[in-house]
Amino acid sequence: TLLLRMATTDAVLRVKNSLLSLQSDGIIAEYFKLHLSSLEEYLRHVLSSTCNDVTGSHLTLATTHSRLLTDRDVDQLRLHLSTDTETDRIEITSLSLQQFQTELQYTREIQRFLRGNSSIEGREGCHKKILLI
């Protein structure tokens, strides 16, 4: 089950062409049972878990090679994931791999996000930061 949680959809669908082809229908069914149907649904599931007791925060990182979300999509996602309580704030940052010229620039931007001061830090409650790349 752990390997299926980490596998990409492409890899799971290619199982039909491997030595596991006889078991492929069961593997594919299990994979899609474990995974949720949309990014919003996945993030809602992840954010529903409790915060880290030490840091009082929750960090989620999603990476893809394609540009899936526009700035407007990110705003809509933030709106749908936010709650009305002052103690449960979400910060969403979306970056595109194409905006980086070097791996060093990419690494520095992630470090800046992880260390950076945000508008939600310093408030009571759980601080949830989402970085979509």
10-residue mean pLDDT series, the chain (133 residues): 76 87 87 73 73 61 67 84 62 84 92 70 64 81
Which tokens go with 128?
Answer: 């949830």
In this predicted structure, what is the pLDDT of residue 105? 94
From CA 107, how far away is CA 109, in angstroms rounded? 5
pTM: 0.60
Question: b or e along 59-95 (b: 16 or more beta carbons within 10 Å of the residue's beta carbon)?
Answer: ebeeeeeeeebeeeeeeebeeebeeeeeebbbbbbbe
From CA 25, how far away is CA 27, in angstroms rounded? 6
In this predicted structure, what is the pLDDT of residue 87? 45
